[in-house]
Structure 1
Amino acid sequence: MPDTGGGPLLLLASASAGRRATLTAARIEHDTLPVDLDEDAILDRARTAAEEAGAPLAAAEEVLLLAREKAQAATELSDGGYVVLGGDSMLELDGTVLGKPRTAEVAGERWRTQRGRTAVLHSGHWLIDDRDPEDGGTGATFGASASCEVTFADLSDEEIDAYVATGEPLGVAGGFTIDGMGGPFITGVNGDPHAVVGLSLPLLRQMLGEIGIGIHELWEDLSAQGAADER
């Protein structure tokens, strides 16, 4: 068992409610430390450098870059001793990468473009092992991406306007959620369904295994929870 010092070992470097809910539903103990980064500036610099080098960034590389930046920032801000997980997601449609719409106008335009169609959702994961070597820390820092196809319902203009008016799509990748008000508008997912909310549990299991941690070792103490429920 990893030495957690009495608290969660995993630190999620994200403000995403979907990622937190995914870990919570899987009974994976974790702390959260959202970080405030200028994602547009980070991507602009990376895209410029890549284009100058003659090797434009793919969508899977862009989400991995932002996931790494988040994990690194959270590691620097934390008290140490964690395994830090950063994540980021983007939707790719017709070769164009779509992040957070941020405004109602952009969200509406995107939904009118993607309705009735299938796009690819890319979710980047970056893990930093910031544990003390005496507690099994490896110092490893590495990442991987998970992708899945998402098919959208052929929404009417009225449905799009109503959804955009809720404000939900403005701050999420691709302008949609599957675990919120956008759920009725998703007709199919081909691939890892957890990737749609930005955190692939199978991929997390694989990455933790690379630093010698079984995902089952991060589960909550269910026996203690059961005893508490009985009281």
Structure 2
Amino acid sequence: MPNLPQLILASASPARLQLLRQIGLAPLVCPSGVDEGQFQNSDPVALVATLAEAKATEVATRFTPPAVVLGCDSLFELGGVIYGKPSDAATALAQLQHLSGSQGQLHTGHTLIDLTTGETLTRVATTQVFFSRLTSEQMQAYIHTGEPLQCAGAFALEGKGGIWVERITGCHSNVIGLSLPLFREMMSQLGYDLTGYW
């Protein structure tokens, strides 16, 4: 497929970049710098959709066609409470205490903006995540690695935190920060076949 647009990832997430690279893409990384704190919504699905769109929209202003901007945002919901990235070790510990032996939903908002056509697509993928019980010592050891502070819900499925994820229902890559099947569908809706990038 000739003249495929440059893919721009509006995210600083190494995990999202790795997911895109493993499917044969070489996106340009351009973090948005959007202040997530300015967005408030008690509905986590609506919130991640709004955040993903805000990030993609901000980055889209920096580029000219042909390009497609991908913005994403992930939040973890447990018992009706929304968890983003913990701000410090104490917050991470509190989140891990809630996760232990529980199940929650990882929501990731995805926005694609095609700069050539001006079309914007926003979709949300949700995956159920089931956790085993963690001891206090295990929680402290995990926090000491620094990993929980980088992740929505204070855990990384693709990292050390994966040892406590007993099972998931839904898209695996969504828990890492980007649903690859949903991304493929959205790109197809814009008229682009990801295999053309190979």
TM-score under structure 2 length normalisation:
0.95
Residue 176 of structure 1 aligns to which amino acid in structure 2?
Answer: F
| Alignment equivalent of 1:202, drawn from 177, 181, 187 | 181
1:159 paired residue number:
138
Distance 2:2 2:160 in 1: 38
2:39 maps to 1:39: no
| Alignment equivalent of 1:173, drawn from 152, 170, 175 | 152
How much has 1:2 moved relative to structure 2?
A: 4.3
Distance 2:145 2:34 in 1: 25
Residue 208 of structure 1 aligns to which amino acid in structure 2?
Answer: M
Distance 2:2 2:92 in 1: 43
TM-score under structure 1 length normalisation:
0.82
2:3 paired residue number:
3
| Alignment equivalent of 1:23, drawn from 20, 24, 33 | 20
Structure 2: where are the runs of 5+ without partners?
Answer: none
Instruction: Report sequence identity in percent.
Output: 37
Q: How does 1:77-226 map to 2 (within 5 A)?
A: 77-131=62-116, 138-219=117-198
Structure 1: where are the runs of 5+ without partners?
Answer: 48-56, 132-137, 220-231
Distance 2:23 2:115 in 1: 23
Please give the root-mean-square deviation of Cα atoms over the aligned residues, in Å: 1.3
**Poorly superposed stretches of 4+, deviation over 6 Å:** none
Residue 3 of structure 2 aligns to which amino acid in structure 1?
Answer: D
How many residues align? The count is: 198
Question: Would the aligned equivalents of 1:101 and 1:169 in 2 still touch at CA under 8 Å?
Answer: yes
* Higher Rg of the two aligned structures: 1
